Amino acid sequence: MNQIWQMLADNFSFLLNGVLTTVGLTILGFVGALLIGTVVAVFRVSPITPLRVVGTAYVEFFRNVPLLTLLILIVFGLPDIGLLIPLFWCGVLGLVLAGSAFICETVRSGINTISVGQSEAARALGMSFGTQLRLIILPQAFRTMVQPLVNNFIGILIGSSLAAAVGVSDITNVTQQLNIRYAEAVVLFLLSGAVYLVFALGAGRIGSWLEGLVSTSRIGSAR
Amino acid sequence: MGPERLAFLSVYRQERFSRRGAGFAILVYLDKMATPLVEVRDVHKAFGTFEALRGVDLDIGRGEKVALVGASGSGKSTLCRCINRLETITSGTITFDGQPLPQEGKALAEHRAQVGMVFQAFNLFPHFTALENVTLAPMRVRKLAKADADAEARELLARVGLSDKADNYPAELSGGQQQRVAIARALAMHPQLMLFDEPTSALDPEMISEVLDVMSELANEGMTMLVVTHEMGFARHACDRVCFMDEGQIVEQAAPDDFFDNPQSERAKDFLSKLLHH
């Protein structure tokens, strides 16, 4: 037992860096995926056919390719075309591409829960497609999307562990390195598992809080 | 309108502000007043294989109030929605203020801004207060300053009898109140034409009259209106003309008293007799 405490104490900053890298990957990945996913969702509901085609192709590609495959292609493929980006950012890029395909579908189904009458009323007042989305459709759609977005967030958090396989030193990668040195797989992976569990639970709590917040700000329609 | 007259008119319009302007301006104005605000010509609209409109002709004069009546599914709402291009037409032409309806884009948005629309389901924006519902389009489409938009919106809400509900959300209002906010919202854009698509059909009987009162007042003030309705009392007393639609065509149009007292077509007689029996 003392040996294990000793191991953790000796490698505290190493582990902490791993945790921070995981947090960084997840937050950057989620924010990027949310932005791009929203844009792609707008493409998919736009009245312009080429945009819809591009949006659909994007989703069908990135949703249906394993994240690990994507990460390997990014890490080993981009240098081949002369793009040398740090490993951490390769991980973020992979998470953004894969995450945005899922978030796009969350946003699109959120948009579809808003009745056609809302967009007709906005159009009848002379609002452009962009204004309609920004002021009328998306603000209402995001309220219905809080819990599905928490799912997407957790997906990205857990998916970030695959970045370990291509050499990003996130908590999973750090854990594996310590395991090779100390051969304490069970303890170490229980620990890294707990890190993911804590963050995922935290995200769930923040989601519930956000949901309460947006529903009190529309007391009216909550009735 | 022949091509010669169109060319003539366009010269008039260009000359309007020139030195010779004043006389021309009056002529142009008289000519403009003489042309209908809306001209619908041989309009067809198909939803797949179903033909909702089958060759509709309709003029709406400036300041005129036209009631569109008929059985459900006769194409009344579709015709109403075609006029601000919420539905695209399959063939035929619709002109507004002498210009054909624009294609999708900025020009269409500008056209829609000039045409107010009131829906059966109100379609207020639930995440905005009554006041914000009214100020939204003037601020975001017409780029009005917030203070000006607010002041005007409060006036409009007062006009529809809802000064005290400005800060309420739509779900806190009754159906009749919501519909009156929707009318104020449409009026805030200073439309040249108001389209009412069955504005009272979703309301409880006791709320219908509060909405019809607001509409009658609007009619008295000279607003051009096209009203799709099942409220025959309103059609008779507040409108200048009644158009009766059946199976995608305007079968009969007449002054309200003539239409209700002395319908010409069999289908109109049949429709009216069914109304009177209940």
In chain B, residues with a C-beta closer than 8 Å to the C-beta of A124 are: 84, 86, 112, 115-117, 119, 186
pTM of the model: 0.82
**Interface residue A82 vs chain B (CB under 8 A):** no
Q: At how many degrees (to 10) do helices A87-112 and A49-63 cross?
A: 120
Name which of A149, A171, A151 is nearest A160 in CA terms: A171
Q: Which helix (H) or strand (E) holds B67?
A: strand B65-70
Q: What is the mean pLDDT of chain B?
A: 89
Among the four given CATH numbers 1.10.287.470, 3.40.50.2300, 3.40.50.10140, 1.10.3720.10, the one describing domain A2-222: 1.10.3720.10
In chain A, residues with a C-beta closer than 8 Å to the C-beta of B124 are: 121
CA pair distance B243, A3, nearest whole angstrom:
92
Pairing verdict, β B115-118 and B99-100: unpaired
Find the range with the poorest average confidence among A23-37, A203-217, B184-198.
Answer: A203-217
Q: Which helix (H) or strand (E) holds B244?
A: strand B241-246
- Closest-CA residue of A relative to B132 is A135
CB contact under 8 A, A221 and B123: no
CB contact under 8 A, A220 and B110: no
In chain B, residues with a C-beta closer than 8 Å to the C-beta of A139 are: 127
pLDDT tens digits, one per residue of B79-90 = 999 999 999 999
Name which of B106, B85, B99, B102 is nearest B43 in CA terms: B85
**Interface residue A123 vs chain B (CB under 8 A):** yes
**Interface residue A216 vs chain B (CB under 8 A):** no
Tokens coding A28: 């950057």
Query: Closest to A117 (Cβ–Cβ): which among B113, B114, B119?
Result: B119
Q: What is the mean pLDDT of chain A?
A: 91
- Closest-CA residue of B relative to A131 is B140
A contact residues 27-46, partner B, Cβ 8 Å cutoff: none
Query: Closest to A120 (Cβ–Cβ): which among B86, B104, B136?
Result: B86
Is B278 strand, coil or helix? Answer: coil
**Interface residue A126 vs chain B (CB under 8 A):** yes
**Confidence at A219, pLDDT banded by 50, 70, 90:** very low
CB contact under 8 A, A223 and B116: no
Query: Is residue B47 over pLDDT 80?
Result: yes
Query: Closest to A118 (Cβ–Cβ): which among B86, B125, B168?
Result: B125
Interchain CB contacts (distance < 8 Å): A and B: 82
Tokens coding B181: 């906010």
**What's the ipTM?**
0.84
The pLDDT value given to residue B268: 92
CB contact under 8 A, A125 and B113: yes
The pLDDT value given to residue B182: 97
**Confidence at B16, pLDDT banded by 50, 70, 90:** low
Dihedral sign for Cα A146, A150, A153, A159, please. Answer: negative
Q: What is the mean pLDDT of residues B235-241?
A: 93
Percent with pLDDT over 90 in chain B: 78
pLDDT tens digits, one per residue of B105-117 = 888 988 999 999 9
Residue A14 sits at the vertex; the CA angle it makes with A10 and A15, to the nearest 5 degrees, is 95
CB contact under 8 A, A124 and B115: yes
Backbone angles phi, psi at B42, to 5 degrees: 45, 50
**Interface residue A125 vs chain B (CB under 8 A):** yes
